[in-house]
Amino acid sequence: MKTTTVPEPRTAAALAARRRKTETALQRVHEAIARLRREKAQISVAAVARRADVSRTFLYDNPEARTAIASAMVEAGERLSRTLTEQDDEREATWRERALNAEDALKAAQAEILTQRTRIGELIGEVRDLQAEWTEEAIQRITTENTTLKQRVRQLTADNRTLDERLKAARSNLRFQDRRLADLEARLADTGSAT
């Protein structure tokens, strides 16, 4: 015959208090896990223990707490893996786009450089052609002709000044002669009318 022992009222009260304490601690553990998920923080035994204000020993010893943390860590790991994969894809797409843009810009720059080099080559060729046309003898001849022309211009300017002065003197003489002629004509007219 089996006998069941009925716990003493004091022991029953202690067991009930311990059960309530464990349930309260488990409730805090679940709340801590939920809070860590909302904050997208890393879920670990240490983080849950700090947030739930329980010991790590409690988390390792209590099967329900251990299972809740393990499943939260697996879920967070999958979410983290998914997030990292998405971020990698975004980064790769961004870098691919940047690489294509840089490639296009490089092609455009190389085409512009080629165009500029061609133009520079043409201009250098023109300069060489001009230099080839003008020998040292031709340059000396042109310089001499230029000096001669400058001297001729100076001579013509001096001759022009001299002629201008002579013209002014001739005009002055002409005016004087006109006045004198008018004066003589007046005298003749006076003498002719007196006779």
pTM: 0.37
Instruction: Of 75, 95, 193, give the one whose Cα is nearest residue 185.
Output: 193
Can you tell me the distance from the alpha carbon of 77 to that of 59, in angstroms, rounded to the nearest whole number? 19
Distance between CA 66 and CA 80 in Å, rounded? 21
Q: What residues in the chain have per-residue pLDDT under 50?
A: 1
pLDDT of residue 13: 80
Nearest to 72 by CA among 31, 28, 33: 33
Encoding tokens for residue 91? 């980064």
pLDDT of residue 58: 83
